[in-house]
Amino acid sequence: MQTRTLMLASASPRRAELLSQIGVEFIQQPVDLDESALTNEPPKAQVLRLAAEKANAAWLQVEGTAQVVLASDTMVVLDNQALGKPRNAEHARSMLQSLSGRQHEVMTSVSVRDATRQKTLCVVTQVVFGPLTAVQIDDYWATGEPVDKAGAYGIQGIGGQFVKSINGSYSAVVGLPLYETVQLLKEFEVMS
Ligand SMILES: Cc1cn([C@H]2C[C@H](O)[C@@H](COP(=O)(O)OP(=O)(O)OP(=O)(O)O)O2)c(=O)[nH]c1=O
Domain-embedded: residue 192? no
ipTM: 0.95
Q: How many domains does the chain have?
A: 1
Domain-embedded: residue 166? yes
Domain-embedded: residue 169? yes
| Dihedral (CA of 185, 188, 191, 192) sign | positive
Nearest CA to 96 out of 163, 171, 14, 47 is that of: 163
Domain-embedded: residue 142? yes
Domain-embedded: residue 80? yes
Catalytic annotation present for 73: yes
Domain-embedded: residue 1? no
Centroid of ligand 1 to alpha carbon of 149 (angstroms):
5
Nearest CA to 106 out of 75, 71, 149 is that of: 75
* Segments forming the whole domain that contains residue 140: 6-187
Task: Report the CATH number at residue 146.
Answer: 3.90.950.10
Domain-embedded: residue 49? yes
Is pTM beyond 0.90? Reply is yes
How far separated are the first and last CA of the chain, in Å rounded?
7
Pocket of ligand 1 (CB under 6 A): 10-12, 14-15, 30, 72-74, 76, 85, 106, 148-151, 153-156, 173-175
Question: Which residue's alpha carbon is at the smallest distance from atom 16 of ligand 1?
Answer: 12
* 13-67 pLDDT per residue, tens: 999 999 999 999 999 999 999 888 999 999 999 999 999 999 999 999 988 889 9
Domain-embedded: residue 168? yes
The residue from 73, 79, 114, 148 that is catalytic is 73
* 157-178 pLDDT per residue, tens: 999 999 999 999 999 999 999 9
